[in-house]
Amino acid sequence: MSVIILLISVSTLVAGVFLFAFIWAARSGQFEDDRSPAVRILNDDTPVTPSPSYRS
């Protein structure tokens, strides 16, 4: 029975740590820009020009 009490207390502690991490991330602005990472992959890269010493 003491194992159940240990597991409940450890899981409550882990849940509290994750809750603290979520609140810290939300306050520091980690979730402010959720649109641009999804659209960033659609942006074209700058074209790469081969160097003059490159021979095909």
Assigned domain for 47 exists: no
Domain range for residue 9?
A: 2-29
> Average pLDDT of 31-48?
79
Assigned domain for 6 exists: yes
Number of domains in the chain: 1
Assigned domain for 21 exists: yes
Beta-carbon contacts of 24 under 8 Å, excluding residues fewer than 6 positions away, are none
Per-position b or e across 8-38, b if 16+ CB within 10 A of its CB: eeeeeeeeeeeeeeeeeeeeeeeeeeeeeee
In this prediction the pTM is: 0.57
Assigned domain for 7 exists: yes
Task: Please check whether residue 25 is in contact with residue 31, taking contact to mean a CB–CB distance below 8 angstroms.
Answer: yes
Q: For residue 45, name the pLDDT band (cuts at 50, 70, 90).
A: confident
Assigned domain for 37 exists: no
Assigned domain for 20 exists: yes
Assigned domain for 15 exists: yes
